Amino acid sequence: MNFLIVIATFIVMEFVAWSVHKYIMHGFLWVLHKDHHVVDKDKVLQKNDYFFLIFAIPSMMLIFIGYKDFSYQFFIGIGIAFYGLAYFIVHEIIIHRRLPAPKNTKSKYIKAIRKAHKVHHKNRGKYNGVNFGMLIVPWKYFKK
């Protein structure tokens, strides 16, 4: 059962991340997200990196609360943490290559993720964005 809580939380987090990205990052917290769309190559960190804390703090709190008896809160916190790890690997390493990563891939899925994200970044503004998710990619990006 606990494994299912972790998996369900991980899946739900994709929809939470999509909503946060569309309505909060491209909404009232655009001030933090803007530098992710208009990148200053001389800066190692972006204000956008603060969003790591927005997701990490609830995860750590739930893990801490549920650790004593390994209650459902613990496993929800683990699911959020796993999603955060996936986000870091996919978004920061595979898509934006903020750390060294292989340049070429044969994976249609990775190519689709990169295409969808590239289209998202074509719009440098707060409004009229598309493709707010990370792991769920519209089918059209799987086509050549």
Q: What is the pLDDT of residues 8-52, one digit of tens each?
A: 999 999 999 999 999 999 999 999 989 888 877 777 788 888 888
Strand locations in the chain, DSSP E? none
What does the pLDDT read at residue 57? 96
pLDDT band at 131 (very low <50, low <70, confident <90, very high): confident
Give the model confidence (pLDDT) of 76-94 as tens digits. Answer: 999 999 999 999 999 888 8
52-81: average pLDDT:
95
- Is the per-residue pLDDT at 101 higher than 80? no
Bigger pLDDT: 79 or 143? Answer: 79
CA 110, CA 131: separation in Å to the nearest integer?
15
- Is the per-residue pLDDT at 99 higher than 90? no
What does the pLDDT read at residue 11? 97
SS3 track for 38-54: CCCCCCCCCHHHHHHHH
113-135: average pLDDT:
86
CA 22, CA 130: separation in Å to the nearest integer?
9
For the chain, the average pLDDT equals 90
